[in-house]
Structure 1
């Protein structure tokens, strides 16, 4: 009797990336543990995106910014990225202030307009 893998492509549920829940104030030791967790999630699941639920992190501060920057760096080194779930508006503003851009769950991804698409010109518009 042969018990090899079934024929065809393996079934992969790419619509549900792994989730890492971040809660409470995070210490320096926990940053290392969480970075290892991101690396392990990506290696174990083969996912290229890890969702970080940041709703329970509390008030935003530079410690949270440092944590998220380190997690993003770890994910990038592993060939992926992190996506934030439920960020506080203050955290979102703080990340923008320090120049860190994160994909946020539920936001429409910004993309370049398609090539060959031209802006419509209305009669009477001045020539550019």
Structure 2
């Protein structure tokens, strides 16, 4: 199974006013394409709350189009801020597919005690 990937770069300085245009640019890039992964390059992005908000909204835009967004090139400060806001896992998840017979992350198998062990 082939996973399609596209690269999407974010500028160094963001304002809240930039976010709708960024999301529109991403939506336009994804429209009409097969599903895949957007690798969002944030090298040089200033680590602030606006940058994290932009990444969260870009992630939602990607999901609306059937894609998954992962962040690449983030500074330690940006990663720390995302962690503080509880967004590290959704934004910095590793790119790849679960191995055969392996559960997707965040999914737990439920065991029914009435089932015979086997």
Do both proteins adopt the same fold according to a TM-score greater than 0.5, normalized to the shorter chain? yes
TM-score (ref. length: structure 1)? 0.64
Question: Which residue of the partner structure matches residue 34 of structure 1?
Answer: 22
Misfit runs of 4+, over 6 Å = none
1:103 aligned to 87, 92, 116, which one? 92
Larger Rg: 1
2:70 maps to 1:90:
no
TM-score (ref. length: structure 2)? 0.69
**Contact between 2:11 and 2:45, CA under 8 Å: does it hold in 1?**
yes
* Residues 58-104 of structure 1, C-alpha deviations (whole Å, 9 max, x = no match): 3x111111111111111122222211111111111111111112235
Greater RCO, CA 8 A, separation 6+:
2
2:3 maps to 1:14:
yes
CA RMSD of aligned residues (A): 3.0
2:38 maps to 1:50:
yes
5+ residue gaps, structure 2 = 99-103, 110-118
5+ residue gaps, structure 1 = 1-12, 116-128
The aligned length equals 102
